[in-house]
Amino acid sequence: MFNLMSNCCTWFSKIQEPIRKVTVLVVGLDKAGKTSSIRGMLRAGPTHGCIRNELRVENYLVTLMDVGGSAESRGIWKELWGEAHGIIFVVDSSDRHRIREVKDVLADLLKQPRVAGKPILVLANKQDKMNALLGSELIEILSLEKLVNQSRSLCHIEPCSALMDLRRWSDRKTLRGLRWLLRAVCLDYPELCTRVAQDSRRPIEPRERGKSEKTEKVRRKTKAERLTILQFFKWSEVV
Annotated binding site: 28-35, 47, 69, 125-128
Q: Report which of 154, 156, 153 is spatially closest to residue 173, judged by C-alpha positions.
A: 156
Annotated binding site for GTP: 28-35, 69, 125-128
Residues sharing a CB contact under 8 Å with residue 106, sequence separation 6 or more, in sequence order: 89, 122, 142, 144, 147
- State the Cα–Cα distance between residues 107 and 112, nearest whole angstrom: 9
Annotated binding site for Mg(2+): 35, 47
Q: Report which of 58, 80, 74, 86 is spatially closest to residue 155, judged by C-alpha positions.
A: 86
User: Using H for helix, E for strand and C for coil, what is the string for 177-204?
Assistant: HHHHHHHHHHHCHHHHHHHHHHHHHCCC
Phi, psi of 156 (to 5 degrees): -145, 135
Burial bucket for residue 161 (CB in 10 Å: 0-12, 13-18, 19+): buried
